[in-house]
C-alpha cells in the first residue's frame, strides 16, 4: 500500500489494508475491526504539541475554531476543504474541588472533562464531524446508526445543519430518553423504532447499511474514532501537555476508550508525549460485559489474539439465560460492545482496568457532580462513581491526578434526575425503585407550599 492514509486491520498478524474511501468498516481478510492508518514519514506530523496553541489566535477560521479540527495534523485523513464542522469540541476541563472529597482524592487532583457542551449535547459530535467528513469523501447520500440516543441526536444535527445527507436512525423501543428522541425527531431524522434493544438495533443497522449502501456512523466506523481522539488532546492541552495519572470513562460500545488508546499510542510513537495515563472503563452493573470479560474472566488483548472462546462462551451464556442489558444509564445499556478488541488493545497499551457501578452509585455520583455545577446524564456519572470505587480499592491514590469524562448533558435525561430529587415516593419507585435504587442520598427535594405569601416566606426562611 503506497497511500499515505488508508485503513488497516487492528490485528498485527493479519494487518490487511483497505482504501481510504472504503466504507465497509470490516477487515477484507479476517472480518476484524479497522484503524485509520497514516504514513507519518510522508505526512510530517507536528514537532511539538505546543504548536496547537497557536490555533487559538486564528479562531475566525472554522477549522481552528473546532475543538476537533484544531488538531487536524493528528487526524489528517481529509483535505481541509472537505471538512464539515459545526463548531464541535468547545469543551472544558474543569478542576472539580467540590467533587474531589467524594471521589477521595486530594484537592486539586480531580478534573471533569465536560463533553455535554457540544452542539448536540454529548461527546458524539467529536466523532460525528470526522465520520461525516469521511462520508462526504465517499460521496454518501444517506447515513445511519443504531443508537441509545446520543449518536442519533448527533447524526440528526449534522445532517440537518449541513443538508448534505439524510439521517436514518435505529433505536430500541422504549429504550431512549425523551431528550434524545426529541433531537432525532426535531432535526428530521428518519427514526426507526425496533422491537428490541440497542444490541438488536446494532445488528440490524449493519445488515441494512450493507444491503442499501447506507454510510454507517456507529463507532465501528474508524473515522469516527479519529474525531474522538481529540477529547484527549484537549485534556492534555488544558494540563499544559502533561498526562494525568488516570483517565476514567464510561463504557458502552467502547468507542471512546478505543479512541483514547489510539490517541495516546500515536502521540507516544510520534515522540510527542513521554508518559501515558492509565485508562479506567466503567460499565453500568446492569450492562457489564466488559467488566466481566476483562476483570472476572481475564480476557486480554494478547498481542492481537484475544481468546474468542471466552467471548463466545460469555455471549452464549447471556443468551441461554435471556439476559438483556438493563440500567438507568440508558446511554450505556449495551451488552455486546462492537469495539471490544480495540478496547482490549487500549487497556493493554495504557495499563487499564475495568469496573462496574450500580445505578445507585451512578445516581449518587451524578447528584454530587450536579451540586458542583456541571450537569451530566446518568451514564456520564459512571466515570465519577468508578473513580470513587478505584480510590476505595487503593488502585487510584489520593495524590493521583484523575480526569473523569462527563460524556453527555444533564438535559438529555431529565426523567432520571427529577425522579432522584422528587419528593413524590411514587415517582421515585416507578423510575428508580424498580432498578434497585433504594435511596436518593443527595436529593434536593422540591418544597411543597400552599399558595399563601406568609407560608411561602416561612418556607424560604426555614430552608435557606
Ligand atoms: N456516555 C454517553 C452519554 C453515551 O451516549 C455513550 C454511548 C457512552 C457514554 C458510551 O460510549 O460507546 O464510546 O463506550 N452512546 C451510544 C449512542 C452507544 O448510541 O448514543 P462508548
Write the DSSP assignment of 199-225 as a string of letters. Answer: HHHHHHHHHHHHHHTPEE-STTSHHHH
Segments in 196-320 forming alpha helices (H): 198-212, 222-238, 255-269, 289-290, 308-320
DSSP secondary structure code for residue 294 in this structure: I
Centre of ligand 1 to C-alpha 253, Å, is 6
Q: Residue 13 half-sphere exposure, CB side, CA atoms within 13 Å? A: 7
Return the best residue to mutate from 252, 254, 352, 382 for the ligand 1 pocket (most ligand atoms within 8 A of CB): 252
Return the best residue to mutate from 189, 225, 330, 332 for the ligand 1 pocket (most ligand atoms within 8 A of CB): 332
Centre of ligand 1 to C-alpha 48, Å, is 31
Phi, psi (degrees; rounded to nearest 5) at 223: -70, -35
Write the DSSP assignment of 11-60 as a string of letters. Answer: -TTT--EE-TT----S-TTT---EEEEE-HHHH---S-GGGGGGGGGGTT
Rounded to whole angstroms, the Cα distance separating 290 from 268 reads: 26
Tens-place pLDDT, residues 13-44: 999 999 999 999 999 999 999 999 999 999 98
pTM, two decimal places: 0.97
Is the CB–ligand 1 distance for residue 261 below 6 Å?
no
Tens-place pLDDT, residues 373-394: 999 999 999 999 999 999 999 9
Is the CB–ligand 1 distance for residue 379 below 6 Å?
yes
User: How many C-beta neighbours within 10 Å does residue 312 have?
Assistant: 10
Local confidence pLDDT in tens for the 464 residues of the chain: 469 999 999 999 999 999 999 999 999 999 999 999 999 999 988 999 999 999 999 999 999 999 999 999 999 999 999 999 999 999 999 999 999 999 999 999 999 999 999 999 999 999 999 999 999 999 999 999 999 999 999 999 999 999 999 999 999 887 799 999 999 999 999 999 999 999 999 999 999 999 999 999 999 999 999 999 999 999 999 999 999 999 999 999 999 999 999 999 999 999 999 999 999 999 999 999 999 999 999 999 999 999 999 999 999 999 999 999 999 999 999 999 999 999 999 999 999 999 999 999 999 999 999 999 999 999 999 999 999 999 999 999 999 999 999 999 999 999 999 999 998 899 999 999 989 999 999 999 999 999 999 999 999 998 88
| Sole residue written with cell 431524522 | 189
| Helix H or strand E segment including 420 | helix 414-421
Amino acid at each position: 500500500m503506497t497511500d499515505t492514509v488508508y485503513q488497516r486491520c487492528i490485528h498485527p498478524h493479519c494487518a490487511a489494508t483497505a482504501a481510504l474511501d472504503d466504507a465497509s468498516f470490516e477487515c477484507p481478510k479476517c472480518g476484524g475491526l479497522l484503524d485509520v492508518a497514516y504514513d507519518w514519514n510522508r505526512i510530517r506530523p507536528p514537532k511539538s504539541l505546543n504548536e496547537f496553541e497557536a490555533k487559538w489566535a486564528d479562531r475566525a477560521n472554522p477549522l481552528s475554531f473546532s475543538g476537533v479540527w484544531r488538531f487536524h495534523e493528528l487526524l489528517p485523513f481529509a483535505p481541509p476543504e472537505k471538512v464539515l464542522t459545526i463548531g464541535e469540541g468547545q469543551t472544558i476541563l474543569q478542576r472539580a474541588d467540590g467533587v474531589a472529597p467524594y471521589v477521595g482524592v486530594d484537592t486539586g487532583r480531580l478534573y471533569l472533562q465536560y463533553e455535554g457542551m457540544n452542539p448536540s449535547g454529548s461527546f458524539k459530535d467529536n466523532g460525528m464531524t470526522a465520520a461525516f467528513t469521511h462520508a462526504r469523501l465517499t460521496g454518501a447520500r444517506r447515513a445511519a446508526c443504531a443508537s441509545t440516543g446520543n449518536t442519533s441526536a448527533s447524526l440528526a444535527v449534522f445532517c440537518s445543519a449541513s443538508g448534505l445527507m439524510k439521517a436514518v436512525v435505529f433505536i430500541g423501543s422504549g429504550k431512549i430518553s425523551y431528550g434524545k428522541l426529541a433531537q432525532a425527531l426535531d432535526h428530521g431524522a428518519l427514526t426507526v423504532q425496533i422491537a428490541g434493544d440497542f444490541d438488536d438495533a446494532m445488528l440490524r443497522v449493519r445488515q441494512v447499511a450493507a444491503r442499501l449502501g447506507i454510510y454507517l456512523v456507529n463507532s465501528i466506523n474508524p473515522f469516527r474514532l479519529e474525531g474522538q481522539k481529540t477529547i484527549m488532546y484537549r485534556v492534555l492541552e488544558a494540563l499544559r501537555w502533561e498526562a494525568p495519572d488516570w483517565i476514567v470513562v464510561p463504557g458502552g460500545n467502547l468507542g471512546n476508550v478505543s479512541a483514547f488508546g489510539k490517541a495516546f499510542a500515536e502521540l507516544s510513537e510520534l515522540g510527542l508525549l513521554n508518559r501515558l495515563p492509565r485508562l479506567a472503563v466503567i460499565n453500568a452493573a446492569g450492562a457489564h460485559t466488559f467488566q466481566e470479560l476483562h476483570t472476572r474472566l481475564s480476557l486480554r488483548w494478547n498481542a492481537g489474539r484475544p481468546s474468542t472462546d471466552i467471548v463466545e462462551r460469555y455471549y452464549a451464556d447471556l443468551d441461554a439465560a435471556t439476559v438483556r442489558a438493563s440500567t438507568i444509564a440508558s446511554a450505556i445499556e449495551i451488552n455486546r460492545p462492537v469495539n471490544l478488541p480495540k478496547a482490549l488493545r487500549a487497556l493493554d497499551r495504557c495499563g487499564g482496568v475495568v469496573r462496574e457501578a450500580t445505578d445507585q452509585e451512578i445516581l449518587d455520583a451524578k447528584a454530587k457532580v450536579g451540586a458542583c455545577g456541571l450537569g451530566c446524564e446518568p451514564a456520564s456519572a459512571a466515570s465519577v462513581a468508578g473513580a470513587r470505587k478505584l480510590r476505595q480499592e487503593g488502585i487510584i491514590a489520593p495524590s493521583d491526578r484523575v480526569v473523569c469524562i462527563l460524556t453527555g448533558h444533564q438535559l438529555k435525561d431529565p426523567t432520571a434526575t427529577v425522579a432522584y430529587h422528587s419528593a413524590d415516593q411514587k415517582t421515585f419507585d416507578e423510575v428508580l425503585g424498580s432498578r434497585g435504587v433504594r435511596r436518593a442520598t443527595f436529593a434536593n427535594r422540591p418544597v411543597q407550599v400552599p399558595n399563601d405569601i406568609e407560608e411561602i416566606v416561612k418556607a424560604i426562611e426555614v430552608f435557606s
